[in-house]
Structure 1
Amino acid sequence: MGVTIRQIAEAAGVSRGTVDRALNNRGRIRPEVAERIRAIADEMGYKPNQLGRALSMSRNNIKIGVILQGAETPFMKEVLKGIQEACAEVDNLGGTVLVHKIEHQNAEDVILAMEKMRMEEVRGIAMVPLDEERVKREIDRFVEEFRIPVVTFTSDVEDTKRLCFVGQNGVQCGRAAAGLMGELTGGKGKVAVISGYSTNTSLSSRVVGFCEEIARKYPGIEIIGPEYCFEENGRAREITEGIFKEVPDLDGIYLTSHGEEGVCEAIAGAGKAGQVKMVANDFMGRNYELMREGFIHFLIGQDARIQGYEPVMILFRLLFNGEAPERAKIFTEIYIRNEYTIPEGRH
């Protein structure tokens, strides 16, 4: 019997994922660690049989489905790049990845996409879910009745039988935003919270983390909202304009989702650029430009590529190698930038 990745991981004292990245030259890994893992694999006589696996996959017609909600937002377009990278890897080994894009976030569309993929005989589904009972029931039904494992990404529904989640720790992101806002406002004043969808747990957990940390550390801050813009700039502008009418002495805005341009248009229209402190998310779209113009004071980023790439590869390893994920929640790193840390040449 050949040497397995698990055996190499135990010998090297690292995770199976680290071994996989070292042997396949993908993902971030320190060069000295990768070199040591490859040396251990050679000593143990590890011989990857990719051709054999590819032939086996081809015979079994193994398919993986991906359901991407909010597909037209700047963040999800970056996530899609990671999905496409994983698609190419799976395709090289004889497998197939079917991607279904949903423009907005809609429970009925998600359920229809899941059923369509079941009819296409997918063996696993990676999906952006919604925190709605009928979606959660459908996830459990797919896992229990159809034996189709489900991996959630960017947004989670942990009270289901999903295999695991890949994405940002939303509560921790919200806490980070609270710390930044507290420093920007001196720990006092009125701060509005604008989010995308209440049913998107990635966004709702940011709201929870923000509100909890503000209450704990900055009791002098009064929170307005949250209001929901459905990640549309037009709706975000209308909400912000309405908040200014109700709260003319607003000190800050925490935006958890896409809708930055709309919020900034309202700030400009009210003549409050630079006065109203704004914390937003993700290093894409026009966010760097809006930061340079003084509208956004801090951006909190995440690894969009990994959130698209890793869910597909988790299912790949499970279905093709019998390798289960190491954890139920695989969190990506949280990054923070201001106008002084914008990468050169980025707009």
Structure 2
Amino acid sequence: MGVTIRQIAEAAGVSRGTVDRALNNRGRIKPEVADRIRQIAEEMGYKPNQLGRALSMSKNNIKIGVILQAAETPFMQCVLEGIERAKDEVDSLGGTVLLCKIPHISGRDTIDAMEHMRSEGVSAIAMVPIEEEEIKAHINLFVEEYHIPIVTFNSDMEDTKRLCFVGQNAFQCGRAAAGLMGELVGGCGKVAVISGYSSNPSLSNRVLGFGSELKIKYPEIELVGPEYCFEDNHLAGQATEKILKENPDLKGIYMTSHGEEGVCRMLAKYGRAGTVKMIANDFMGKNYELMREGSIHFLIGQDAQIQGYEPVMILFRLLFNGEQPKGELQYTEIFIRNEYTIPENL
């Protein structure tokens, strides 16, 4: 078997798109990097005509669709950066990536996007699903009837025929938040949960993980909610105000989704910022600023860019040379930060 572009890329510690540019003098690459890649390729016995065959095959056959929901939220904007990076790499190898950005969460719009992708002749789809039976049925239809493999990312649909999932272990994230919250509030009192969408499997699993861990480890904590804000700061503020009025003795809030600014503004309005312990998700938006101010006590993060990049590349590798994903559940690492571990340059 001949040497592949991927093997050269791994040996050189660069992307396959960079290898393509180096071997084909496409520019946009430092001369010293290009020289090193060519030397590695020669040492490995790479035959230049392999690339031509690869590009020809991928250009004729490989078209990947990507459906990104809640595309305007800060987290999904970071996911989008990973998608764009994968798109550039696939494009450089002769393939095509079609991207559909849905600004909100919508089952109907998701199905419409899937059907549009099919009409455009995609060979595979990477998508962020939501918890609706019609979505599940449509995923199974695409895989079984249309033979279009599907990779889910950010949110999963385990009880479907999807190929694999790339993203955070949301249940474990919720458990981690519960452990932190239990210590922050001294193991007792009222703690509220504010989430984005009940139909988002990832957010729902965070809520489930949080509640189940509190019940086991901190049975004296009373769980309030969840309230839903649809990842909107104004609605998150309204939900917080409702919770504070109904629970003046509230000790903590776990925010599972975007909407952190709205929560913190309302806590400040009621003079509760800092005294109501708050845990939120993701290192983006104004979260670091809110943490420096003392409104957020812990942030639980995940690798957003890999959630955009890897699903596209999993499908490209599958379509290009039949390479199966390394596993059904490809969880990204869970990171935890507080005010003392904020990067100095942020």
Aligned partner of 2:267 in structure 1 is: 267
Query: Which residue in the other structure is 2:51 paired with?
Result: 50
Distance in 1 between residues matched to 2:54 and 2:4, nearest whole Å: 14
Q: How many angstroms apart in 2 are the aligned matches of 1:22 and 1:164?
A: 26
TM-score relative to the length of structure 1: 0.89
Shift of 1:22: 4.4
Which residue of the partner structure matches residue 208 of structure 2? 208
Q: 1:52 to 1:322 in 2, by over 3 A?
A: same
**Would the aligned equivalents of 2:154 and 2:166 in 1 still touch at CA under 8 Å?**
yes
- In the aligned structure 2, how far is the partner of 1:5 from the partner of 1:163? 24
Conserved? CA contact 2:15–2:89, under 8 Å: no
Deviation at 1:76, TM superposition (A): 0.0
Change (3 A) 1:334 1:195: same
Unaligned segments of structure 1, at least 5 residues: 9-18, 28-38
Question: Conserved in 2, the CA contact under 8 Å of 1:192 and 1:225?
Answer: yes
Measure how far apart 1:123 and its partner are.
0.3
Task: Measure the CA separation in 1 of the matches of 2:5 and 2:117.
Answer: 30
Amino acid at match of 2:207: V
* Alpha-carbon distance between aligned partners in 2 of 1:345 and 1:3, rounded to the nearest angstrom: 41
Letter in 1 for 2:14: N
Q: Tell me whether 1:25 sits opposite 2:14 in the alignment.
A: yes
> CA offsets, 1:59-109, max 9 Å, x none?
33x210000000000000000000000000000011110000001100000
SS in 2 for 1:251: strand
Residue identity opposite 2:94 in structure 1: G
What is the alpha-carbon distance in structure 2 between the residues aligned to residue 275 and residue 51 of structure 1? 63
Q: Provide the residue aligned with 2:81 in structure 1.
A: 81
For residue 198 of structure 1, report the CA deviation from its aligned partner. 1.1
How far apart, in 1, do the equivalents of 2:263 and 2:44 lie?
58
Alignment match, 1:125: 125
Instruction: Identify unmatched segments of 5+ residues in structure 2.
Output: 17-38
1:5 CA drift (Å): 9.5
Q: Distance in 1 between matches of 2:273 and 2:239?
A: 17
Following the alignment from structure 1 to structure 2, what is the Cα–Cα distance between the partners of residues 106 and 187?
A: 38
Q: Distance in 2 between matches of 1:85 and 1:234?
A: 32
Q: How does 1:308-323 map to 2 (within 5 A)?
A: 308-323=308-323
Residue of structure 1 in register with 2:97 after alignment: 97
CA contact (8 A) 1:233 1:259 kept: yes
In structure 2, the CA distance between the partners of 1:220 and 1:47, relative to structure 1 (3 Å rule), is farther
**Aligned residues, how many?**
324
Q: Is the 8 A contact 2:303 2:332 kept in 1?
A: yes
- Counterpart mapping for 1:39-188 below 5 A: 45=45, 49-60=50-61, 62-188=62-188
CA contact (8 A) 1:51 1:93 kept: no
**1:161-189 deviations in whole A, cap 9, x for unaligned?**
00000000001111110111011011111
Do 2:300 and 2:334's aligned partners in 1 also have CA atoms closer than 8 Å?
Answer: yes
- Residue 51 of structure 1, CA deviation: 2.8
Q: 1: CA distance between counterparts of 2:306 and 2:10? A: 13
Aligned to 1:238: 238
Percent of pairs with identical residues: 67
Contact 2:102–2:109 (CA under 8 A) maintained in structure 1: yes
Q: Shift of residue 345 of structure 1?
A: 2.2
1:66·1:126 contact (CA, 8 Å) conserved in 2? yes
Are the equivalent residues in 2 in contact too, given 1:154–1:307 (CA < 8 A)? yes
Q: Read off the aligned partner of 1:231 and give its amino acid letter.
A: E
Q: Which residue identity is paired with 1:100?
A: C
Distance 1:69 1:86 in 2: 18
Q: Is the 2:5–2:51 contact (alpha carbons within 8 Å) kept by the matching residues of 1?
A: no
Separation in structure 2 between the aligned mates of residue 306 and residue 344 of structure 1, nearest angstrom = 23
- For residues 194-250 of structure 1, the C-alpha deviation after alignment (integer angstroms, 9 at most, x for no partner) is 111111111111111111111111111100011111101111000000001100110
Asked if the contact 2:11–2:40 (Cα under 8 Å) also holds between the matched residues in 1, the reply is no
Misfit runs of 4+, over 6 Å: 39-44
Give the whole-Å Cα distance in 1 for the aligned partners of 2:47 and 2:175. Answer: 46
Corresponding residue of 1:35: none
Task: Kindly indicate whether the alpha-carbon contact (under 8 Å) linking 1:107 and 1:135 is maintained by their aligned counterparts in 2.
Answer: yes
Moved more, 205-214 or 47-56: 47-56
